[in-house]
């Protein structure tokens, strides 16, 4: 079965979406990522969508679900590289993608993930003291 590869980079998972996904492929990615977060004890997920030329309500919902699901599993998701035309179209479509954090590119996304994790860690320390 066709699958979108998930790369493991230390504590993080990296997914680069390079194909025009049909609906089942998007669902499979959502399931695979959820499983991978647990299996590799990941704390962050980066989803690079810079090659995506369109996000409709189905793909938008998948990105939103991944973000919400990762939060439940104590991980953060950052979606990076959304093209301006795609972003404008999403707004007009009425899709707000609740819970989705975005960054301009992979480097900025990685920084954002690190910041999120650092602040999570300090919260834990605060609670302990």
Binding positions for other proteins, rule: CB under 8 A: 20-24, 53-58, 61, 83, 85-86, 88-89, 92-95
Minimum Å distance from CB 51 to other proteins? 14
- Going from the C-alpha of 13 to that of each of 53, 79, 96, the distances in angstroms are 22, 12, 24
Nearest CB to other proteins, comparing residues 54 and 104: 54
Please give the structure tokens belonging to residue 38. Answer: 């647990």
Minimum Å distance from CB 7 to other proteins? 24
Q: Are 55 and 89 in contact (CB under 8 A)?
A: yes
Nearest CB to other proteins, comparing residues 20 and 121: 20
Minimum Å distance from CB 13 to other proteins? 25
Nearest CB to other proteins, comparing residues 33 and 95: 95
Minimum Å distance from CB 31 to other proteins? 16
Please give the structure tokens belonging to residue 44. Answer: 């962050």
Nearest CB to other proteins, comparing residues 58 and 122: 58
């Amino acid at each position: 079965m066709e699958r979108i590869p998930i790369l493991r980079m230390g504590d993080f998972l990296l997914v680069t979406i390079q194909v025009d996904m049909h609906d089942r492929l998007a669902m499979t990615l959502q399931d695979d990522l959820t499983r991978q977060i647990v299996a590799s004890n990941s704390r962050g997920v980066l989803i690079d969508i810079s090659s995506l030329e369109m996000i409709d309500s189905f793909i938008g919902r998948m990105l939103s679900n991944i973000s919400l699901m990762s939060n439940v599993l104590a991980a953060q998701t950052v979606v990076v590289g959304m093209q301006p035309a795609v972003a404008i179209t999403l707004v007009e479509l009425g899709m707000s993608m609740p819970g989705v954090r975005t960054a301009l590119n992979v480097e900025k996304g990685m920084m954002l993930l690190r910041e999120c994790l650092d602040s999570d860690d300090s919260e834990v320390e605060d609670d302990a003291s």
